[in-house]
Amino acid sequence: MMRADAVRNRRLLMDAAAAEFAENGMDVSITRIATRAGIGKGTVFRHFDTKEQLLAEIFSDRLEELVTAGLRLAESDDPAGALFEFMTIGTEIQARDRSFCQAAAALSRSESAVHTSRERLADVAETLVANAQRAGAIRDDITGLDIVLLLSAASQAVLSISEDAPGLWRRYLAMVFDGLRTRSAHPLPVPAPTRAQFTG
Amino acid sequence: MMRADAVRNRRLLMDAAAAEFAENGMDVSITRIATRAGIGKGTVFRHFDTKEQLLAEIFSDRLEELVTAGLRLAESDDPAGALFEFMTIGTEIQARDRSFCQAAAALSRSESAVHTSRERLADVAETLVANAQRAGAIRDDITGLDIVLLLSAASQAVLSISEDAPGLWRRYLAMVFDGLRTRSAHPLPVPAPTRAQFTG
DNA sequence: GGACAACCGGACCGCTCGGTCATGTTCTGA
DNA sequence: TCAGAACATGACCGAGCGGTCCGGTTGTCC
């Protein structure tokens, strides 16, 4: 059982780290995070052996947040709308968090918590896609992994001007989604990625 | 007039820096670049006052490469095909170069050479879009700036698995392009970015 | 061929980073 | 209430960074 002050400090730390990572990317220093949390630097390393572990925990939380939303949307009776909202939520998370994409590239292979969250995300995306395809709204030649990868497309497109144009990602997400519709479909030049490629 | 050895070393330096930045992103150390070029670290700072300047020069070269291709394609008699090839070239450059997107976000405002190259890129994209729209192939509610921003979408989408799946970006570029076609058009929720937002 | 400017190189500087550790403090259970 | 375990802290460490500088080297021009 953790002591009460340890629980409180861990909470402060997680919040501060999440905020710093979101605002400034995953290269913010531990010192800065500790200061923002109002705790000492050493305390950070009491809760997490390494900076990478801290980042992984936060990143994995974000992924689970999206998984949860996806599971709820999978029950919707408007499959196309559900898929679109899933993509909206996922893109918004990334648009708000500068560390998200960096974290995805940096530690998807090393941290097992992240690994399983990514699997769960792929699963729920697969369900949402299958539902939308069954309803005839979405082209048949795309997969759940396609959707997961496309989650970063719109937010990254606007990354260089995101401060001056918040919300612009919605414009490109709409364009991307237009490309996913059944009647937009043209043959794709490359097969979908395999689960093994995604998993790493 | 530069001395012959200085010219040769500058060439070696540029090539090595471009390769390192492309392979490892813009955070590679000057020491590493110098070693790869087979020159001393001090020599790097003889040619460029700061690391940022070196990065800017290379980044701006890449942009001009794309501008040149765009100008050629603007003369094509297949406007839709020209736009698609423009996007293909731009996306491929980014897919091959890990520093590209970082550089775009980091120094588009500070370095004037980059600034003007970005303007030229926006101009040529505007022309290509206008041509394709006049031909009726591309939806009317998008702009050249949209295209420039979308250049990063596909390459960034696959960034986390790009080593395991080279060329996968072509799949998502095709999807994005499908979303740009006239008959895919659904109303967009957000207006296009202004030139001022893009310029910074 | 010689003089001199241009150029090269790597030891060096100040700084920041992630991570450690000894010391002092605070909570908790009996 | 109090012993002792759990926890917090910030000075400290080695490594690596961008950038500087000066003694030695090399190309160039008369």
CA distance A128 to B164: 25
**CB count in 10 Å sphere of residue A75:** 9
Q: What is the pLDDT of residues A7-25, one digit of tens each?
A: 999 999 999 999 999 999 9
* Nucleotide closest in space to A44 (CA vs C1'): D8
The one-letter code for the residue type at B17 is A
Q: Please name the member of A146, A170, A192 whose beta carbon is closest to the beta carbon of B190.
A: A170
Determine whether the interchain pair B172/A153 forms a contact, defined as Cβ–Cβ distance below 8 Å: yes
How many Å from the N-terminal Cα to the C-terminal Cα in chain A? 36
Determine whether the interchain pair B176/A171 forms a contact, defined as Cβ–Cβ distance below 8 Å: no
Q: What is the pLDDT of residues B48-93, one digit of tens each?
A: 999 999 999 999 999 999 999 999 999 999 999 999 999 999 999 9
The one-letter code for the residue type at A84 is F
Q: What percent of chain A has pLDDT over 90?
A: 92
β partners of residue B92: none
Nearest chain A residue to B182, by CA: A184
Banded model confidence at residue B1, pLDDT cuts 50, 70, 90: confident
Burial group, residue B9, by CB count within 10 angstroms (0-12, 13-18, 19+): buried
Q: Please name the member of A154, A165, A191 whose beta carbon is closest to the beta carbon of B153.
A: A154
Average pLDDT of the segment spanning A154-179: 95
Q: Find tokens 């390192």 and name the residue.
A: B20
pLDDT at A132: 98
Rg of chain A, C-alpha, whole Å: 18
CA distance B144 to B68: 16
How near does any CA of chain A get to the CA of B193, in Å?
A: 7
pLDDT at B6: 98
Q: What is the pLDDT of residues B149-168, one digit of tens each?
A: 999 999 999 999 988 999 99
pLDDT at B68: 98
Average pLDDT of chain A, as a whole number: 96
CA distance A196 to A78: 30
Chain-centroid distance of CA B158 in Å reads: 16
Q: Which of A176, B1, B47 is nearest to B17 (CA)?
A: B47
Average pLDDT of the segment spanning A140-144: 98
Q: What percent of chain B has pLDDT over 70?
A: 100
Determine whether the interchain pair A197/B165 forms a contact, defined as Cβ–Cβ distance below 8 Å: yes
pLDDT at A31: 98
pLDDT at A39: 98
pLDDT at A200: 74
How near does any CA of chain A get to the CA of B182, in Å?
A: 9
* pTM to 2 decimal places: 0.95
The one-letter code for the residue type at A39 is I
Structure tokens at A85: 């909202």
pLDDT at B11: 98
**CB count in 10 Å sphere of residue B37:** 21
pLDDT at A84: 98
Burial group, residue A2, by CB count within 10 angstroms (0-12, 13-18, 19+): exposed
Secondary-structure percent of chain B, ordered helix, strand, coil, rounded to 5: 70, 0, 25
Residues of chain B contacting A175 with CB distance shorter than 8 Å: 142, 146, 150, 176, 179-180, 188
pLDDT at B121: 98
Q: What is the pLDDT of residues A90-121, one digit of tens each?
A: 999 999 999 999 999 898 777 889 999 999 99
Residue A189 has pLDDT above 90, yes or no: yes
3-state class (DSSP) for residue B13: helix
| Residues within a 7 A CB radius of strand C | A 1, 3-5, 27-32, 41-42, 45, 49-52; B 2-3, 5-6, 8-9, 39-43, 45-47
Determine whether the interchain pair A197/B161 forms a contact, defined as Cβ–Cβ distance below 8 Å: yes
Do residues A44 and A54 lie in contact, with contact meaning Cβ atoms separated by under 8 Å? yes
Q: What is the pLDDT of residues B100-147, one digit of tens each?
A: 999 998 987 778 899 999 999 999 999 999 999 999 999 999 999 999
Determine whether the interchain pair B105/A192 forms a contact, defined as Cβ–Cβ distance below 8 Å: no
CA distance B139 to A136: 23
Average pLDDT of the segment spanning A136-156: 97
Determine whether the interchain pair B157/A156 forms a contact, defined as Cβ–Cβ distance below 8 Å: yes
3-state class (DSSP) for residue A109: coil
* Nucleotide closest in space to A6 (CA vs C1'): D7
Q: Please name the member of A151, A191, A193 whose beta carbon is closest to the beta carbon of B161.
A: A193
Nucleotides of D under 7 A from a protein CB: 6-12, 16-22, 26-29
Do residues B156 and A102 lie in contact, with contact meaning Cβ atoms separated by under 8 Å? no
Structure tokens at B71: 């100008």
**A41 phi and psi, to 5 degrees?**
-60, -40
The one-letter code for the residue type at A12 is L
pLDDT at A90: 98
pLDDT at A111: 80
Q: What is the pLDDT of residues B24-56, one digit of tens each?
A: 999 999 999 999 999 999 999 999 999 999 999
Average pLDDT of the segment spanning A51-79: 98
Q: Find tokens 């009726």 and name the residue.
A: B136
Nucleotides of C under 7 A from a protein CB: 6-12, 16-22, 26-29
Determine whether the interchain pair B160/A108 forms a contact, defined as Cβ–Cβ distance below 8 Å: yes
pLDDT at A107: 87
Residue A79 has pLDDT above 90, yes or no: yes
Burial A125-145 (b: 16+ CB within 10 A, else e): bbbbbebbbebebbbeebbbb
Q: CA angle at residue A75 from A72 to A78, to 5 degrees?
A: 110
Nearest chain A residue to B167, by CA: A190
